[in-house]
Structure formats: structure tokens, C-alpha cells
């Protein structure tokens, strides 16, 4: 019987090559897209699953409030919470604290500036499943001035030598003994660490046990006991906050709330101050998952529509089989076998395409995805389930429609253009149109939103600017060295200005200061602000507009007693007019400063975020970043000059630089990647839908060839026939548009809520996609109709 089914399928395919190719191609593209997106989604959801105790590891995330309103959300919260939780709550088995540091590591003549170096307390390797290649987990970070380095960092500094027992210097002065080497963290870890310094070293350097609840910037993770109830523990924390810090918080009319984040949810659900790196986005991941499902559904709908539409041509086959003794169950089996075979071929092609395209897809998403999906046994189980489900979903309805034909009517020729399944097919076409319109609206909206953010005036000039990381090795001569460097760089004709600051546009200010108020206010009126230290050239160099008062001046020897505010900070401080702030005084951590000027708001970070209230403090040589504005006509020659001067003035410090405009654009990298992926796969979904419409309209035109011939004999014109044939599809498209517009509006409005500055959902964002789908559909239908309408009526009437 199977052999008979197989023979029948091959004969059918040989007689319908074009139809079969459309079916298989649509299925293959749909499954390929589904596989690629599934691999991406699985990768995103796999973050931190490698930890053995992942269900018991939680990060202590901190929200700070001012006057009852949420002011800052910290991934790296207060210093004291970890030790105190371990002391006062038996549910907490272990804790680890981490604090980032700007490190210039060296061993002998080898030195590099390292970005991912942290001070870590001793239980790090007993909480996280990061394999130690050399060293004992309980001892490698126990004593002051010990360090553990990654395998790649060991190779970088020591080559093939064993680094354990050797000494490395940090910032040219503090020596650390290497006590262990750990395996590089996998790519699906939310942490990014190259070296760990013992936390007791930081306590020694600061001469402070670091138990304050008002000192933020420390990442804290806890490991709970096996029987601990995380929700019950989290519910105890508000009362614990009041017990430990209630009086001090009340003094400033502030509050703080702690949340316990499961470690394996951080990557998709966390975008707070002090993250290791930019995390993923659960909403974007779900969006792509939906697109993957829609693509597969559209491909299956195509198969159903084409199979049922072609049922007229297969009616005689069914009639003959029934007359020869075939049972309906056998016919259902035959058509399901046919569907199964086409799905197997489609899956095989889809896997080949997915393997070929995976490297390009990894580049597009910015994730090193690899081929892990195909190495998992569960993948092949799901693939088999996909084949069976695809065969059943796409083949069951056509099988029952075809097997239900009555042989007497068929063989007498009375069975022609039946209404069986017409309503169902129309419903499926409407679903395809709805999906296509929604995806096009989504693509338009994503593209417009990202373009809007990139095209807006930032209020700051970031062009033709190279930024150099200031030296890590700092001594008493640092300020004089900076002035020498500044003078030497300024002598070059292409250089416009040189300035220094703790941060530059495109970077979140790392200094977040609370308890700041005017002298006329009480402690309860104090607020939190972001603080940037700058020299006198920063304002002019970056083209910032002083809305009131004046900017900083290096010539003023008492300038360090003054501050500048931006407009948002002025409003937050309670001034009704920005002019009212000039010459007023503020209380800042025990010191008093006079407000010398107000700077107009500018976008320090991307337009996804609202304006931050900023306070600018003066320093003639702040550490952090040096900004050089210069004519970029001869970039390479200029950079060589700058580096030469750098090495002469700051020997032993690497020349690390970046161009500010490119750096600023990196804030939109994740959104651009989402736009690219979303657009490409939306395009594939629309292509599959058009492919199905192409096949369906072709079959419709063929089935109505004789009708078209009769109409032409009776005087119908070609335009009239085109209108007649397009009318049914036009009605379906109108219905689809009426349903798709509110659906797409709801989906995209939800997506736009993540942006502080966003585009309005104007009418044309819905009108253009709807018009595009209508035009493509009518063109597709029109091509086949025109071809049939131009056939000689005599030939049409001989058809069949």
C-alpha cells in the first residue's frame, strides 16, 4: 500500500511540477526561518543556565526612591546588603560582592588596559559554576592582593607559562599574586569578566569595611538554601530596610527597595545601572518568536489553500479510485502520505538552508549562535514532531475534502467548480492578508522609530571628535602632565579644541549623587542627580548652549567652588525659572557650591531615555576621557601625532581611543539588529504569502478559463474580466485591512512604550502597508487573469 501511495505521489508531482515547487518552496522557507529564529530564541533563553545552582542564585537589585517616586534602578546596588543578608537571614547560604575597576594590568613589559576586571569576595567560585583550571575555589580570593585571571588573559600576559604564583601590577603600583586561572565565561553568560581581584584588597586600599547602605555600585549575588522560599524572603526585605536604614532614609525623604532577580532571567529582563554589558530584550525575543510562528502558519495555509483549490483537478482521480473499490480512509491516508512526503522534503531543504545561512544570521543578530541547535537531540525530536504536525495540519483538511467527493457526480462531469472549502480558503487568505499587513506596519514602524532617534538634534556636537581614555597610572604630576599634553596637541593646525571630563556623550554618567539640595531647602527636599566633572573647555568644545549665567573658565582659580546645572536639574531642584538658579547655592555631600550657569538640556544618552538631571562640577584635569576636536581630512596622520605625544607625556599607558559619533551610534546597535532581523523575516513571511497567492490565483484563472471564454464571446472586455476576477480578492483585502489596522496598532504601540522619545502612529503607517498589499495582490491576480483573458475564446471553449 505504501508503495502504491508513493507511486501515486510521484506521478502527481511529475504532472504538477510548478504547483509542487511552490508548495515545497513555501514550506521550506517557512521552516528555515522558523529554525533560525528558534535557534536565536533558544540562545537568548539559555543565558546562565550552565550554573549548577541557577534556581538558587539571585542578584540583589536595588531601586531608590525620592519623595515616593522611583529615581534610580541599580543592578549594582549598595555595599552593605550582601554581608547583612548573610548575617541576619538563615535562608542565605552564601553571598558574593563585585565592584568594577578601571585596570591597567601589567606583567613585566606586557601591559594592557582591561575593561572587565572586578573586585570579588571569596565565595565567587562556590556560587557560580565557573570552572577553575588552577587553584582552590575557597582560597583563591580569600586574602588581600590575590587575583584570579581567565584562561585567555593568562595566555595574553604569560603565553604558555603557568601564571599561578606570579605577580601582576594594577595601575603601575599595586601588586597582586595570581592564585588561580578560570575557564573563560561562556557567551551565554550575563557576566563579562576577565580578571577578579580579592574584595579584601579593595577594603584594604580604602581602609573601609564597605558596609554602607548609602554607597551604591556593588553587584551582590546570594545563594539561598535548598529549602528557602525566595518570595517569603523578598517580602521580609522592606521591614529589614527600615530597621537598618530607616532613620537615614527618612531624613532625606527617600526609600529603597530590594528585588531578588533569578540569575537566569537577568539577560532578558534587566537593563539597570551597573550591568556587566548590554542585555537582551524579552519583548523583542517574543516578537521574533511570533514572527517565526506566523511564517510557519502562512506556509501551512498556502499548502492548504493550494491543495483544496486544486481539488477540482483531482476529483476524477478520487472518483476512479472509489469506483475501483477505494475506501475513504484509504484516500485520506494517501493524501496525508503525500503531505508527509512534501513536508519531509521541505524540512530537508530548510535544514540545508539554515546551516548555510547560520553564520550570516549570527552576524546579523550580533550573537555567536553557532550550530548548537542541530547538536541537540531534542531538536531532531522537535523536527520529527514538526514534520508530523505539518503533515497533519496542512494535509488533513485537503485530505477530507478530496476524499468526500461522490464518484457518480464526478464521473458524469457534473462536479465542477464546487463550493466545498471556498469559505475556508477565503478565511485563510484573509488571515494571510492580516498577517502581511501587520508585519509590514511593524517593519515600517521599527524603521521609522530608529531613523527618528538617529535624525533628531542631540543638542550636542559629537562630530569630528576622537576620545582618549585618560591614563590609569596617576601620580602627583598628573595635572601638569595633562596641561602639557593639552598644549602639545593644541599646537597642531587641524586641532580645534582639547578638553577633559569624567564622561562624554553616549555614555551613562557613572557618578550618581543623592542628598543634593539648595541651602534654603531641608534634607527632605534633597534629590538625586547625575554628575559629570569637566574642565573649562568642555562646554564650548561640545557646542552646549548656556541658557542662563555662564560656563566654566579655566582662568578662574576659584572655579572649583561653582557648579552648572542642566535645565532638567534646575526644574528638579525647584526653580520656577532657570534664571532664578543663578548665584543660588547648593549643598553637595558636606560642601557648598554656587550655581554659575544653566546648560540647555542635551541628549547625554540615546533618545530611548529621557533627559537626566545633570550637575556639572569643575576640575582643571578630571580623569576619565580626553576629547579632541579636529579636522578629520587626514585622520591617520593626526592619530599618529596624537599617539606620539601621548607616549611622550604618559609613558606606560596604552593609547586607547574611539570616535565619538561611532560610539554614540552603538547605543542603537541592538535596535538596529532587531530592525534588520524583524524586517528580513517579515519580508520572508510576506514573500511566502505572495507565493501562495500567486499559486492560488493561477489555479483560479485556470479553473475559470472556460467561463472567461464564454464571457468574451458574449462581449465582455478584458478590463471588465479583470474587475470581475479581482472583486472577490478585493473584498477579502478590505476585511483583512479592517482587522489588521487595530491589531497592528496595538502591537506597535506596546513596542513603542520602551522609548522616551517616539514617533506618533500616524495614519500613513497603516495606509501605505495596506495599499502595498492591495497592489501586490491585485497585480498577482491580474497577471494570471490577463493571461487567461487574452486567450482566443475558441481555444478557451475547447479547454477540458
Residues 637 and 539 in one domain: yes
Both 73 and 199 in a single domain? Answer: yes
Does one domain contain both 290 and 430?
Answer: yes
Q: Indicate whether 266 belongs to any domain.
A: no
d(CA 403, CA 329): 8
The verdict on residue 52 lying in a domain is no
Residues 316 and 415: beta-carbon distance below 8 Å? no
Say what the pLDDT of residue 299 is.
Answer: 81
226 shares its domain with 329: no
- Tell me: do 34 and 82 sit in the same domain: no
- Length of the chain, in residues: 800
Q: What is the pLDDT of residue 417?
A: 47
Q: What is the DSSP string of 142-153?
A: SSTTEEEEEHHH
As a whole number of angstroms, the distance between CA 204 and CA 176 comes to: 13
pLDDT value of position 12: 72
For residues 743 and 294, what is the distance between their CA atoms, to the nearest angstrom?
A: 14
Same domain, 94 and 215: yes
Q: Are 681 and 299 in contact (CB under 8 A)?
A: no
Residue 359: how many other CB atoms lie within 10 Å: 12
Task: Kindly write down the DSSP assignment for every residue of 343-394, as one continuous string.
Answer: HHHHHHHHHHHHHHHHHHHHHHHTS--TTHHHH-HHHHHHHHHHHHHHHHHH
Whether residue 677 is contained in a domain is answered as yes
Whole-number Å distance between alpha carbons of 678 and 561: 52
Choosing from 208, 231, 252, the residue where a domain stops is: 252
Q: From CA 524, how far away is CA 442, in angstroms rounded?
A: 46
Residue 534 located in a structural domain: yes
651, 683, 709 - which closes a domain? 651
Are residues 398 and 335 in contact, defined by beta-carbon separation less than 8 angstroms?
Answer: yes
Closest alpha carbon to 266 in 250, 278, 253, 254: 278
Does any domain span residue 338?
yes
Please indicate, yes or no, whether residues 73 and 179 belong to a single structural domain of this protein: yes
User: Domain boundary at 252, 272, 301, which?
Assistant: 252
| Under 8 Å between Cβ of 534 and 616 | yes
Q: Dihedral of CA 54/56/57/60: which sign?
A: positive
61: in domain = no
How far apart CA 548 and CA 535 sit, in angstroms, is 19
Please give the pLDDT value at position 467.
Answer: 97
Cell numbers that stand for 415 in this block: 462536479
Question: Do 608 and 508 have their domain in common?
Answer: yes
Integer Cα distance of 343 and 339 in angstroms = 6
Look-up: residue for cell 579636529?
630
Q: Are 500 and 540 members of one domain?
A: yes
For cell 498556502, what's the residue? 302
Which residue matches cell numbers 527632605? 524
Nearest alpha carbon to residue 291 among 681, 677, 770, 29: 681
402 and 487 co-located in one domain = no
* Separation in Å, CA 269 to CA 75, 275, 283, 597, 667: 11, 12, 9, 39, 18
Do 767 and 793 sit in the same domain of this protein? yes
Ranges under pLDDT 50 in the chain? 415, 417-418, 420, 799-800
Handedness of CA 601, 604, 608, 613 (dihedral sign): negative
Residue 732 lies in a domain: yes
Q: Verify that 293 and 391 share a domain, yes or no.
A: yes
pTM recorded for the entire structure? 0.84
Give the three-class secondary structure for 739.
helix
pLDDT of residue 714: 78
| Residue 594 β-bridge partners | 562, 585
* pLDDT of res. 258: 97
Q: For the chain, what is the largest distance between any 2 Cα atoms, rounded to a whole number of angstroms?
A: 107
> Quick one: pLDDT at residue 316?
63
- Beta 216-224 vs 77-78: how paired, if at all? antiparallel
The domain of 206 spans: 69-252
Q: How many domains, in total, are found in the chain?
A: 3
Whether residue 519 is contained in a domain is answered as: yes
SS3 6: helix
Q: Are 748 and 437 in contact (CB under 8 A)?
A: no
* Rounded CA separation 480/405 (Å): 95
Amino acid at each position: 500500500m505504501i508503495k502504491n501511495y508513493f507511486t501515486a505521489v510521484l506521478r502527481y508531482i511529475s504532472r504538477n511540477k510548478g504547483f509542487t515547487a511552490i508548495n515545497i518552496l513555501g514550506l521550506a522557507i517557512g521552516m528555515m526561518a522558523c529554525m533560525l529564529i528558534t535557534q536565536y530564541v533558544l540562545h537568548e533563553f539559555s543565558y546562565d543556565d550552565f550554573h549548577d545552582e541557577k534556581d538558587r542564585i539571585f542578584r540583589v537589585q536595588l531601586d531608590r526612591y525620592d519623595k515616593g517616586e522611583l529615581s534610580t534602578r541599580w543592578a549594582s546596588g549598595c555595599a552593605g546588603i550582601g554581608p547583612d543578608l548573610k548575617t541576619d537571614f538563615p535562608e542565605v547560604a552564601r553571598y558574593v560582592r563585585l565592584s568594577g575597576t578601571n585596570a591597567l594590568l601589567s606583567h613585566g613589559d606586557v601591559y594592557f588596559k582591561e575593561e572587565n576586571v572586578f573586585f570579588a569576595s571569596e565565595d565567587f567560585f562556590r556560587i557560580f559554576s565557573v570552572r577553575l583550571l588552577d587553584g582552590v575555589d575557597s582560597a583563591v580570593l580569600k586574602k588581600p592582593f590575590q587575583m584570579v585571571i581567565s584562561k585567555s588573559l593568562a595566555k595574553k600576559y604569560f603565553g604558555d607559562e603557568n601564571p599561578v604564583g606570579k605577580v601582576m601590577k594594577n595601575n603601575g603600583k599595586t601588586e597582586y599574586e595570581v592564585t588561580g586561572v578560570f575557564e573563560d565565561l561562556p557567551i551565554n553568560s550575563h557576566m563579562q569578566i576577565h580578571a577578579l581581584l580579592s574584595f579584601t584588597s579593595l577594603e584594604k586600599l580604602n581602609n573601609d569595611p564597605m558596609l554602607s547602605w548609602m554607597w551604591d555600585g556593588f553587584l551582590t549575588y546570594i545563594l539561598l538554601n535548598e529549602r528557602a522560599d525566595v518570595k517569603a524572603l523578598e517580602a521580609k526585605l522592606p521591614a529589614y530596610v527600615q530597621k537598618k536604614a530607616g532613620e537615614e532614609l527618612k531624613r532625606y525623604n527617600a526609600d529603597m527597595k530590594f528585588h531578588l532577580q533569578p540569575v537566569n532571567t537577568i539577560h532578558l529582563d534587566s537593563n539597570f545601572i551597573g550591568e556587566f554589558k548590554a542585555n537582551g530584550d524579552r519583548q523583542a525575543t517574543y516578537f521574533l518568536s511570533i514572527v517565526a510562528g506566523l511564517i510557519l502558519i502562512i506556509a501551512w495555509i498556502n499548502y492548504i489553500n493550494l491543495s483544496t483549490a486544486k481539488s477540482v483537478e483531482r476529483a476524477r482521480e478520487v472518483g476512479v479510485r472509489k469506483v475501483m473499490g477505494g475506501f475513504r480512509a484509504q484516500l485520506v491516508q494517501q493524501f496525508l502520505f503525500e503531505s508527509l512526503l512534501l513536508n519531509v522534503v521541505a524540512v530537508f531543504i530548510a535544514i540545508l538552508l539554515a546551516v548555510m545561512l547560520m553564520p550570516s544570521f549570527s552576524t546579523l543578530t550580533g550573537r555567536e549562535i553557532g550550530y548548537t541547535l542541530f547538536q541537540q537531540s531534542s531538536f531532531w525530536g522537535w523536527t520529527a514532531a514538526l514534520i508530523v504536525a505539518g503533515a497533519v495540519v496542512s494535509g488533513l483538511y485537503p485530505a477530507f475534502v478530496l476524499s468526500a467527493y461522490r464518484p457518480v457526480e464526478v464521473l458524469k462531469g457534473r462536479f465542477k467548480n464546487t463550493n466545498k472549502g471556498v469559505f475556508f480558503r477565503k478565511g485563510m487568505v484573509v488571515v494571510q492578508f492580516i498577517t502581511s499587513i501587520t508585519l509590514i506596519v511593524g517593519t515600517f514602524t521599527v524603521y521609522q522609530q530608529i531613523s527618528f532617534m538617529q535624525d533628531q538634534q542631540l543638542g550636542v556636537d559629537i562630530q569630528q571628535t576622537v576620545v582618549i581614555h585618560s591614563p590609569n597610572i596617576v601620580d602627583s604630576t598628573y595635572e601638569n602632565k595633562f596641561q602639557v599634553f593639552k598644549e602639545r596637541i593644541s599646537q597642531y593646525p587641524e586641532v580645534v579644541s582639547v578638553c577633559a571630563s569624567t564622561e562624554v556623550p553616549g555614555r551613562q554618567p557613572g557618578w550618581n549623587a543623592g542628598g543634593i539640595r539648595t541651602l534654603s531647602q531641608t534634607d527632605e527636599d534633597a534629590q538625586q542627580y547625575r554628575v559629570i566633572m569637566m574642565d573649562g573647555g568642555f562646554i564650548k568644545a561640545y557646542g552646549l548652549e548656556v541658557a542662563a549665567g555662564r560656563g566654566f573658565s579655566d582662568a578662574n582659580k576659584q572655579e572649583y567652588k561653582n557648579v552648572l546645572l542642566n535645565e532638567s536639574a534646575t526644574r528638579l531642584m525647584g526653580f520656577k525659572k532657570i534664571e532664578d538658579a543663578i548665584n543660588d547655592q547648593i549643598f553637595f555631600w558636606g560642601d557648598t557650591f554656587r550655581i554659575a550657569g544653566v546648560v540647555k538640556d542635551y541628549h547625554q544618552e540615546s533618545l530611548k531615555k529621557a533627559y537626566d538631571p545633570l550637575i556639572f562640577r569643575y576640575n582643571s584635569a578630571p580623569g576619565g576621557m580626553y576629547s579632541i576636536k579636529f579636522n578629520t581630512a587626514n585622520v591617520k596622520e593626526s592619530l599618529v601625532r596624537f599617539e606620539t605625544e601621548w607616549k611622550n607625556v604618559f609613558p606606560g599607558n596604552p593609547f586607547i581611543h574611539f570616535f565619538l559619533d561611532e560610539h554614540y551610534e552603538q547605543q542603537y546597535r541592538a535596535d538596529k539588529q532587531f530592525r534588520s532581523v524583524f524586517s528580513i523575516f517579515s519580508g520572508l513571511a510576506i514573500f511566502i504569502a505572495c507565493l501562495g497567492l500567486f499559486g492560488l490565483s493561477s489555479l483560479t484563472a485556470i479553473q475559470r478559463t472556460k467561463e472567461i471564454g464564454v464571457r468574451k464571446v458574449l462581449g465582455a472586455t478584458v478590463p471588465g474580466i479583470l474587475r470581475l476576477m479581482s472583486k472577490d480578492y478585493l473584498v477579502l483585502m478590505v476585511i483583512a485591512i479592517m482587522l489588521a489596522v487595530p491589531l497592528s496598532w496595538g502591537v506597535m504601540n506596546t513596542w513603542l512604550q520602551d522609548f522616551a522619545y517616539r514617533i506618533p502612529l500616524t495614519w500613513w503607517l497603516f495606509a501605505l502597508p495596506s495599499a502595498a498589499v492591495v497592489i501586490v495582490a491585485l497585480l498577482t491576480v491580474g497577471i494570471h487573469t490577463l493571461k487567461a483573458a487574452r486567450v482566443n475564446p475558441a481555444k478557451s471553449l475547447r479547454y477540458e
